[in-house]
Amino acid sequence: MSPLLRLGALPGLALALVAGVAGVQVAAGGGDFRPLQPADACVDRSVTSQADGIEGLTEQLVLLGVDDAACTLDVSREALTLELAQQDEPTDAQVDAVREGLRAAVQELADDDALPPSSELVDEALDSADLNALVAAAIRALPDSVIDDALPTEDVLLRAVDELDVRAILSDLDDADALNTAVQEAVVQAVRDELTDRVRNLL
């Protein structure tokens, strides 16, 4: 066969190969292929964390809270994170939805009895606090029952969420993957500060 004829046969050969691959895919059930759809943010889901303490707790709060915010805004989680990363400033609706989503997440975990007692979180908060050693030692000496009665975890978390500068957090996102990390870091710090300030007042 001449080189010219061989070149002319290439498109037909490529078409035959594509048709063959498509036929195998259909035979294997691939004819029903559809692009993956983003998960419905309004569908309840269980969340877990590999981390412990305040970090693990806030990771669950953020996952649930962002889902709730996306549901409120009638978008997928993926669409919300992409919008926030592409905007210079979040809208009032987005700020309110994220804050209320976090509050709803606290309530959901409380209703499920999934919140640890605050006494389990105090040592971690004190480790990162800039406190006089004697004050820190006095706080650590408080009975767990005193801390838990005075500082219900749900109340501590709600106050921490209310103190968050959500607008600043959402304005500082570099990309769509940064939302969970940015919100979680802010919530972790807010919870630590809230616990430290309130438990110090017990002395």
Per the structure, how many domains does the chain have? 2
Q: Please report where in the chains the tokens 């190969």 appear, as a residue.
A: 17
Q: Do 95 and 179 lie in a common domain?
A: yes
Does 37 fall in a domain?
A: no
Do residues 13 and 90 both lie within one domain? no
Decide if 143 is inside a domain.
Answer: yes
Q: Give yes or no: residues 195 and 113 share one domain.
A: yes
By C-alpha distance, which of 46, 108, 107, 100 is closest to 72?
A: 100
Q: Name which of 10, 90, 81, 83 is nearest 41 in CA terms.
A: 81
Contacts of 184 (CB under 8 A, 6+ apart): 55, 58, 59, 62
193 and 154 in one domain?
yes
Please tell me the predicted confidence (pLDDT) of residue 41.
Answer: 67
Measured CA angle at 74 (ends 68, 76), to 5 deg: 70
Separation CA 11–CA 64 (nearest Å)? 52
**Do 57 and 123 have their domain in common?**
yes
CA dihedral for 191, 192, 193, 199, sign (positive or negative): positive
| 124 vs 90: CA distance, rounded Å | 32
Q: Which domain holds residue 159?
A: 53-200
pLDDT of the residue at 43: 76
In angstroms, the CA 117 to CA 123 distance is 12
Q: Is residue 45 part of a domain?
A: no
- The torsion angle over the Cα atoms of residues 32, 78, 46 and 155, rounded to 10 degrees, is -170
Residue 59 sits in the same domain as residue 158: yes
Within this chain, do residues 95 and 129 fall inside the same structural domain, yes or no? yes
Residues across the chain = 203
Q: What is the pLDDT of residue 12?
A: 52
Q: Give every residue of the chain whose pLDDT is below 70, as ranges.
A: 1-39, 41
User: What is residue 79's predicted lDDT score, i.e. its pLDDT?
Assistant: 93
CA distances to 30, 32, 38, 79 from 35, rounded to whole Å, are 12, 10, 10, 16
Phi-psi region of 46 (alpha: psi -120 to 50; beta: other; left: phi over 0): beta
- Flag whether 44 is in a domain: no
Q: Has residue 41 been placed in a domain?
A: no
Do 74 and 113 reside in the same domain of the chain?
yes
Asked whether residue 165 is assigned to any structural domain, the reply reads yes
Single pTM value for the model = 0.78
* Cα dihedral 126, 131, 134, 139 sign: negative
Match 């970090």 to its residue by tokens: 55
Any domain includes 134: yes
Cα-only R_g, the chain: 26
> What was the pLDDT predicted at 49?
76
Q: Are residues 107 and 14 in the same domain?
A: no
Residues 127 and 167 in one domain: yes
Q: Is 129 a domain residue?
A: yes
Give yes or no: residues 109 and 193 share one domain.
yes
Is residue 7 domain-shared with residue 86, that is, in the same domain? no
> What sections of 112-177 are H helices per DSSP?
119-127, 133-140, 144-150, 153-163, 166-171
